[in-house]
Amino acid sequence: MEKYYITTAIDYVNGAPHIGHAYEKILTDIIARHYTQRCDDVYFLTGTDEHGIKIQKTAASQGISPKELCDMNSQKFKDAWKALDIDYTKFIRTTDEDHEKIVQKIFDKLLKQGDIYKHSYEGLYCQGCECFLNPKDLTEDGLCPDHLKKPEVVKEENYFFKLTKYKDAIIKYIKSNPTFIVPEFRANEVLNQLEDIQDISVSRAKSNVQWGIDVLSDSEQSIYVWIDALSNYITALGFDTENPSETFKKYWPADVHVIGKDILKFHSIYWPAFLMALDLPLPKHIFAHGWITIDESKMSKSLGNVISPTSVLESFNLEHPDAFRYYMASSAPCGRDGNYSDDDFKEKVNAHLANSMGNLLNRTLSMLVKYFDGEVKPEFKGENPLAKKALGTVQIVKNHFDNFEIAEASQEIISLVDAANKYVQDNAPWTLAKEEKMIECGQVLTNVLDIMCIISALIYPYCPNIAQDMARQLSFDLKTKLDNLTADNIKCGKLISKEDIKPVFLRVDSELADKSVKK
Residue 300 pLDDT level (bands cut at 50, 70, 90)? low
- Position 297 scores a pLDDT of 67
Contact 267, 190 (CB under 8 A): no
Catalytic residue (one of 25, 34, 99, 129): 129
Bridge pairing between strands 256-260 and 286-289: parallel
Cα–Cα dist 243/268, whole Å = 26
Q: Sign of the CA dihedral 263, 18, 22, 102?
A: positive
Catalytic residue (one of 131, 144, 441, 453): 144
Catalytic residue (one of 119, 298, 479, 491): 298
Q: What is the Cβ-side half-sphere exposure of residue 48, based on CA atoms within 13 angstroms?
A: 27
At 240-286, the pLDDT tens digits run 999 999 999 999 999 999 999 999 999 999 999 999 999 999 999 99
Q: Is 144 a catalytic residue?
A: yes
pLDDT at 517 over 60: no
At 438-478, the pLDDT tens digits run 999 999 999 999 999 999 999 999 999 999 999 999 999 99
- Position 140 scores a pLDDT of 84
Q: Is 129 a catalytic residue?
A: yes
Q: Which CATH class is domain 341-518?
A: mainly alpha
- Position 66 scores a pLDDT of 96
Q: Is 257 a catalytic residue?
A: no
Contact 338, 440 (CB under 8 A): no
Residue 124 pLDDT level (bands cut at 50, 70, 90)? confident
Catalytic residue (one of 70, 126, 453, 463): 126
- Position 421 scores a pLDDT of 98
Contact 130, 225 (CB under 8 A): yes
Domain boundaries, the chain: 341-518
DSSP state letters, 262-286: GGHHIIIIIHHHHHHHTT-PPPS-E
Contacts for 241 with CB less than 8 Å, ≥ 6 apart: 102, 105, 106, 108, 109, 278
- Position 85 scores a pLDDT of 98
Rounded average pLDDT over 285-314: 79
- Position 128 scores a pLDDT of 75
Q: Is 99 a catalytic residue?
A: no
Q: Is 147 a catalytic residue?
A: yes
Cα–Cα dist 316/333, whole Å = 25
Q: Is 284 a catalytic residue?
A: no
Count, in order, helices (H) and strands (E) of the chain.
21, 18
At 382-433, the pLDDT tens digits run 999 999 999 999 999 999 999 999 999 999 999 999 999 999 999 999 999 9
